[in-house]
Structure 1
C-alpha cells in the first residue's frame, strides 16, 4: 500500500502529457490488490473532485484590472483572459486526461480483481469510475470541441476517447457525435449500480448521474432528455434553500455540503481569486435589491467594484462546480419551453424556485409570453450559476440558437473579443499531445 500511495503522489506532480505518458501503468496496477485500494483512489478528491475552471476563466462573469493582469506571471493565465490560448499553453488537457487515466486504472483493476470483490462492490466501483471518466470527457468536449447542435455538425472533431490506461494505445479524435454517445452511454449504463444519493457528497449517486445527464443534454440542445433527467432529480430531492434565511453576515454564507448539493466538486483559479477579480458590472446590476443572491453572493468594495463570495465550497478562493438542486430546476424550466405541453409545469417549478431566492413575497412576476419567459429563465440561470463553470458552455449552446453573445475584455486601450461561434471556442490542443499522438489540431 505504501508503494501505491507513493505512486499516487508522484503521478500527481506531472504537469505535461509527455511526462505523464512515460509512466508504465501495467507495473503500477500490480500494487492495487484490494477493494480498499480501489476506493482509496476513487476517494482522492485532488484527482476526482477537482474540476477544471477553464470555462469560468474564459467567461464574461468577471474582469481584471490592467495592473492585476500585468502582474500575473503565468502566460497561460494571461492568454486565457484574452481568449488567446496557444498550443504552448496546456490549458486543462493534461489534468483532465490524468483523471481519465485514473478512472481507466480503476476499471481495469476492478476487472482484474473481479473474483475478490462482491457483486455490489464491483458494480459500484465500476459505476463510480465511469461517472468520473464521463465527466472528464464532457469537460474536454466543452473546452476542445466546437458546440454540437445534435444533428447537422455531428461529424466535427470531438476528443480522443481514451478507454485504456495503456499509453501505448493511441486514440484518434472521435467525431462530436461519437464523443457524446460515449459520455451519455457510460452514464446511462452506470446509474443502476449506484445508491440514490451517496452519503458522501464527494462521491456520485444516481442523482449525480441524472444531474450530469441533464446538464450534458442541455448543452447539446436535446431538451426533452434534459427535462426528463432534471425531473427525476427533483422528484427525489425537491428541497431548495430559502435564501432569505441564510446569514448574510458570514464571510462564507453557504455551507459546503448544504441541502442543495447533489455532488460536490470545486477548484482554484488564479484569475478568479477574490483578491484578483471583480464581478462584471452589468451582471451585478441584474440583481435587484429584493434578490437575496445580491447580498449573499457578493460584497461591494467602494462605489463601483464588487467581489464574489457565494461559493458553495465555503471558501473565497475555491469555486464550487458541482451539481445542485437549484440548477436542476433551471434546466427543467428552460427545457419545458421546448416541449409541447410542459410549459405550465415549468412555470410552476420556476415559481417555487424564485420564491426560494427572493425576499418573502417579492419574487418577480412570471410572464407567459414565450420570449419574455425564456429571457427571465436565462437571466435567472446566469445569476444562479455565476462562478460555477457553466457560463462558457451555456454561451456556446445559446449562440448556436442565434443569441449572438459576444464576450468582451478591455485592457489599457485595447479591446479583445470572442465572437459568436468563433473557432476559438475550441481551444488549441497542447503541442505535446499533438506531437505524441498525431491527433488533428483545432483550426484557427
Structure 2
C-alpha cells in the first residue's frame, strides 16, 4: 500500500514538497495553484475515470483475469506466457502473483484519483449544481472500485481522502460492513446529484439511474433483496433506458452509446493514439489472412472454454455475438476454434489497439435479472420475476421483448428452478463481461459448481490473497485464510 500511494503522490505532482528554494515559480503545478477553476474540477474527475480505462490493470483484462478466467467460461490460450496467469486459472496462485498485484494496484490508483477530486472540488468557486455532480461522479467511480475490491479480497483498507504523506499510508483492513456502507453512501449521493438524464452532452458519465443500477447489484450481493428490488425498479420505471431489440446491437461499433448501457468504460478507438479497446489478446493467432498480405496479429491469450461455447441452446442469438469461429477479413473465409467476438471492431483489424467498443459495466438486462433474482428470493417465481427474465430471453431468441411467447417464456417453475435459470441466463447474457465469478460467489455456487466441473478450486478460493508486496510495506495488512500468513 505504501509503495502504491507514494507512487501516486510522486506521479501526480499535486502535493506540496519541502521547499529547497525560497522562490516559488508560478509555472509549477502544485495543490496550491491547481484546483481553482471549474476546468480544474473537470480535469480532476477525468483523472478519476482515467484508471478505469487502463485495460492492463483494471477493465477489462485486470478484472477478467480474476473474474472470468478462473471460471468455467474461459481458459488460457496459446498466447499466454505468464506463469502467474496459469496459476490463476489452475487455482495454484498465492500472495506473490503479479496479475493479482497489478489489479490491486490499479484499483487503488483509481481510488486515489477519485479521492483527490472528492477532496479538492468542494473548495472551488463554481456553479454548485455542477460541483455536486462532479463530486458525485468521483464517488461513483470510488464506489465501483471498492465494490470490486471487497468482492474479490474481502476486508481491504478503506482510504477516503487524498494521501499527502507517508505517515498515513499504513492503513489496516476495514470491515466489510464499513466498506459496503461507504459504497452505498457514495452511490446514494449519486442518486441525488448526478444528472437525471443520459444525453449526448454527458456520454460516458454515470446518471442517477446508473447509480441506482449499481446500487441494486450491491444490495443483491449483500442479499438485501428488498432494497435490491427497489433500486432496480427505479431504473425499470425510467423510459429512457431499456433493452435494445437485438442483442448484437449493444456491441455494434457505431452504437457505442445506447439506452441499454447505463454505464460503460469509454474506448475512443481509431484515433491513432492507442486509446481504443485492445483486441489482440482475444483474437485468433496467425489464422485470419489480410488482403495486403500477412495475417491479423491476434495473440489468442484470452479464449472461451469449449464447454461454455457448447452450453448455448439452439436458437440463442447471443452465441454468435459472444463468439466467432470463422471470419473473412477480405482475403478469404477461414475457420478456427471458438474465440471471443463481443468487442470485435472490424475497422481496427490492422491496428488491434484501436478498437472502438466501450466496455459495459452495468446494462439494462443486468437490472432486469437483478430484479428477477431479488423478487424470486422475496416471493418466489411470481409473475413479475418471470416477466423480467422472460424479456431477456425473448430478445435472446429474436422475439418481441414485450410479447409473451410460450415457446420461450419460463412458466410454472419452482423457486429453486428459477434460481438455476437466472444463473444460467446471466452466464449466457454476460459472457466476456467479467461477471461470472461474482455471480457464482454471490449465489454460493462458486465452490460446488466449479469443483463439479473439475476445476482445482479450494474452499478458501472465495477470496483472493492480499498481495505479499503490499503486506511487506504495510505491516497492518493481514492475510486471508488459506494463504501463507
Query: For this structure pair, what is the TM-score category when the shorter chain's length is used for normalisation?
Result: 0.7 to 0.9
List aligned pairs for 1:27-426, cutoff 5 A. 27=16, 28-30=30-32, 31-44=34-47, 45-50=49-54, 51=59, 52-53=62-63, 54-65=66-77, 67-69=78-80, 72=81, 74-83=82-91, 84-89=93-98, 90-113=101-124, 116-145=125-154, 158-166=155-163, 167=165, 168-170=167-169, 171-199=171-199, 200-237=202-239, 238-243=241-246, 246=248, 255-265=255-265, 272=282, 275-300=300-325, 305-311=337-343, 320-340=359-379, 343-360=382-399, 363-399=408-444, 404-406=448-450, 417-419=456-458, 422-426=459-463
| Number of residue equivalences | 402
Q: Secondary structure at the match of 2:456?
A: strand
Contact (CA 8 Å) 1:429, 1:442: kept in 2 or not?
yes
Deviations 1:224-271 (A, max 9, x none): 211111111111145211227x579xx957832233111112676986
| Aligned CA distance change for structure 1 residues 161 and 381 (closer, same or farther; 3 Å) | same
User: In the aligned structure 1, how far is the partner of 2:410 from the partner of 2:187?
Assistant: 37
Aligned residue for 1:5?
A: none
User: In the aligned structure 2, how far is the partner of 1:258 from the partner of 1:289?
Assistant: 28
Contact (CA 8 Å) 1:234, 1:329: kept in 2 or not?
yes
TM-score by length of 1: 0.80
| Aligned CA distance change for structure 1 residues 41 and 270 (closer, same or farther; 3 Å) | farther
Deviations 1:9-68 (A, max 9, x none): xxxxxx956533556652342323211122123235532455342322333211224x44
| Aligned CA distance change for structure 1 residues 93 and 176 (closer, same or farther; 3 Å) | same
Matched, 1:428 2:465: yes
TM-score by length of 2: 0.74
User: In the aligned structure 1, how far is the partner of 2:307 from the partner of 2:380?
Assistant: 35
Deviations 1:342-377 (A, max 9, x none): 722111222222222213365354343222222222
| Aligned CA distance change for structure 1 residues 369 and 303 (closer, same or farther; 3 Å) | farther
Aligned alpha-carbon RMSD (Å): 3.2
| Aligned CA distance change for structure 1 residues 21 and 418 (closer, same or farther; 3 Å) | farther
Aligned residue for 1:150?
A: none
Q: Which has the larger radius of gyration?
A: 2
| Aligned CA distance change for structure 1 residues 165 and 186 (closer, same or farther; 3 Å) | same
User: In the aligned structure 2, how far is the partner of 1:277 from the partner of 1:407?
Assistant: 22
Contact (CA 8 Å) 1:201, 1:262: kept in 2 or not?
no
Q: Secondary structure at the match of 1:300?
A: strand
User: In the aligned structure 2, how far is the partner of 1:25 from the partner of 1:407?
Assistant: 49
User: In the aligned structure 1, how far is the partner of 2:441 from the partner of 2:418?
Assistant: 21
Q: Secondary structure at the match of 1:163?
A: coil
